[in-house]
Structure 1
Amino acid sequence: MTPSTNAYNSSCSVPSMVNPVRRAVRWLRGFVLHYLQHLLIFILASGPIPKHVAFVMDGNRRYARKRAMLPQQGHSHGYVAFRRNLEICFRLKVKCVSAYVFSIDNFKRSPEEVDALMTLAEQSFSELIQYGNILQQYGVRLNVVGKKEMLPENVLKAVRKAEDMTRHNNKAILNLCMPYTSRDEITTAVRDTVHDSLQADQPLEITEKDIDDHLMTTKGGSPPLDILIRTSGVKRLSDFLLWQCAEDTQIQIVDTYWPDFGLFDLLPIILDYQRKVWA
C-alpha cells in the first residue's frame, strides 16, 4: 500500500471515530447533569420550601435580539423555559406557582407580536389539553387569572378547556396571569366587595381582609406569596401581584434572561429563602 493511500485512509477514518466519541461525551455530560439536577432537587426539598412562587418572565425579546432572532422566537424559547422551571418547582413540592404571561398593557405592542403571542398561547393550551403531562403528573389545577374576556375567542376556548381538564386536581395550583395587571385585580376586588355588601344588605365597611378575599388569586385558592422572581435584571414589579407581595414576600431580581433561567438560577434563591426561615 502506497503512502498516499495510507494518508487517505487515515483522514477518512477520523470522522468515523470522532462522531461516536462526541456522541458518547454528549450523552455522558447530559447524564451527569441530569443526575446532578435530581440530586440538587432532592437536597433542596429536604429543607423548608416556599408554598407560593411567582415569576415575572422578563427578557424574551432581549434574548432574541442578542441572537438575531425575531421576538416571537424569543417568546417560544421562553415557553420552553417555563415548562422546565414549572417542573422544577413542582418536583420541589411548591404548592402554587404564578406566572406573568401577558399584561393588559401588552396589547399596545405591535399587532404582529401580539398575534404571535396569542398563537403561542393557543398552541400551549392545546398542547396541555392533548397531553397535560406536567399538570396531571403533579396533580396541578390551572387557573387563568385576569380579564379573560379580552382574549381572542379561539384562545379563550382553549383556556376554558384546559381549566376544566384540571378542575379536580388538588395537589398544587398554577396561576397563569393573562391578560392581567395588579391594579385591575385590586379594582375588581373592591368592586366585588361593594357588590356583595350591597347584595347582603350589610353596612359598607370594607377591610383589607374583604379585599384580600376577593382577589382573583385568593378565590382560586392560592396561599400567600413567599417569593417573587423577576428575570433580566430589571428592578420593577410591572404591575404584578402588588397587593400580594406587600408584606412578607421576598423579591428576587436576577440578571439572567428568562429563556436561560433554570435550576442553577433558582438554587441560590431557594437557599436564601431557607436561610431566612431557619434564622
Structure 2
Amino acid sequence: MPLTEHAVWLRDKAIDRLRNVLFGVLRAGPIPQHVAFIMDGNRRYARSNGMKLIQGHVDGFTALRRVLEICSSLNIKVVSVYAFAIDNFQRPKEEVDGLMNLAERALLELCSHGGILAEHGVRLNTVGRTQLFPPEVQAALNKAKELTKNNKRSVLNLCMPYSSRDEIANAVEESVQNALLEGRIECVVVHKDIEDRLMTAKVNTPPLDILIRTSGVKRLSDYLLWQCTENTQIHFVDTFWPDMGLVDLLPIILDYQRKIWAQ
C-alpha cells in the first residue's frame, strides 16, 4: 500500500532529524579542513544503467551538489574536485562538447540565487588552465567566481582543466624564472619554492586531509600528487560517483576521526 502524503512527510521529517543528530555527533569530533574528490565512474554508471554517457555526467553533477551539502553540514571548509582533466580533451568530440555544455549550465546553476553555493556560503575557485576552455565556459567560470567571491563559510575548488604534473612543472618554471629575475647565478629550486607556486597555493588552499576516489579504481590519475603528503588519508570506494552520498562518506569521516584521536 502506498504511503499517504502525511506519512511521507513524517518519514522525511524523521530522516532529516536523524541526519541532523548524526551531523551533530560527527561535528563534536575532529573534522577535516580539506577534502578532495576524484569524481570517477560517471561513464560506467551510465553504461550499467543503459543511459547515454552525458546522462552519467548530469547525474554526477547532482551527486556533486549532494556531497557539497553534506560537507557543508559537517563544517568542512574546503572541498576540491577533479572536474575535468587536461587529457579529457582527447575524448570523443561529442562527449567533450556535451561536457562543455553541461559545465556552462552547471556553473550558472551552482552560483545562482538559491543555488547551493549561495545557500551554504561557498566561494568558488578554479584550479587549472581555464584558458583551454571555450569562451562561453570561461565566461560562466568568471561569472560564478564573481558572484561567490564574498562567500566566506567554505570554499569549492574546481580543478578544471587540470593536471598535477602540469601544475608542478609550471611551479618549477616560475621558481626558475623568479631566481633569474633576482639575478641569482646558481639557480637552486627548493621544496618551498615549488609549494608556494602551486595553483592550489595561489587560492590559499590548506593542506589536504583526505583524498577520495570513487568507482573502485585505485590510482591518483595525476591529481594533487604534490599535495598528497604523508598526512593525507587516501580512500578508494567502490561506489560510482553519481551514487556517492552520506553512506559512503560516513565511514571515511569516522576513520579520519579515529586516526586523529590515535595520534
Deviates more, 1:37-46 or 1:154-163: 37-46
Residue 33 (structure 2) pairs with residue 51 (structure 1): yes
Compared CA separation, residues 83 and 231, structure 1 to 2 (3 A): same
1:195 alignment counterpart:
177
Please list, as runs of the form range in 1=range in 2, the aligned pairs for 1:102-121 lying within 5 A after superposition.
102-121=84-103
Contact preservation (8 Å) 1:53, 1:226: yes
Count residues in correspondence.
261
2:76 alignment counterpart:
94
Determine the C-alpha separation between the residues in 1 that align with 2:31 and 2:89.
35
Determine the C-alpha separation between the residues in 1 that align with 2:65 and 2:253.
19
Residue 12 (structure 2) pairs with residue 30 (structure 1): yes
Determine the C-alpha separation between the residues in 1 that align with 2:114 and 2:97.
24
- Select 1:266's aligned residue among 249, 253, 256: 249
Q: Secondary structure at the match of 1:273?
A: helix
1:159 alignment counterpart:
141
Gaps of 5+ in 1: 1-17
1:125 alignment counterpart:
107
CA displacement at 1:25 relative to structure 2: 4.1
Q: Secondary structure at the match of 2:124?
A: strand
Identity %: 56
Determine the C-alpha separation between the residues in 1 that align with 2:120 and 2:109.
17
Residue 86 (structure 2) pairs with residue 85 (structure 1): no
Residue 195 (structure 2) pairs with residue 205 (structure 1): no
1:73 alignment counterpart:
55
Contact preservation (8 Å) 1:182, 1:243: yes
Deviates more, 1:98-107 or 1:129-138: 129-138
Deviates more, 1:36-45 or 1:193-202: 193-202
Determine the C-alpha separation between the residues in 1 that align with 2:182 and 2:144.
34
Please list, as runs of the form range in 1=range in 2, the aligned pairs for 1:222-261 lying within 5 A after superposition.
222-261=205-244
Determine the C-alpha separation between the residues in 2 that align with 1:132 and 1:165.
12
Q: CA RMSD in A?
A: 1.5
Gaps of 5+ in 2: none
Deviates more, 1:119-128 or 1:44-53: 119-128
Contact preservation (8 Å) 2:118, 2:151: yes
- What TM-score do you get using the length of structure 1 for normalisation? 0.89
CA displacement at 1:173 relative to structure 2: 1.7
Q: Secondary structure at the match of 1:266?
A: helix
- What TM-score do you get using the length of structure 2 for normalisation? 0.94
CA displacement at 1:278 relative to structure 2: 0.3
Determine the C-alpha separation between the residues in 1 that align with 2:252 and 2:110.
28
Contact preservation (8 Å) 1:142, 1:162: yes
CA displacement at 1:22 relative to structure 2: 4.5
Contact preservation (8 Å) 1:37, 1:263: no
Contact preservation (8 Å) 2:214, 2:241: yes
Determine the C-alpha separation between the residues in 2 that align with 1:158 and 1:173.
18
Please list, as runs of the form range in 1=range in 2, the aligned pairs for 1:139-178 lying within 5 A after superposition.
139-178=121-160
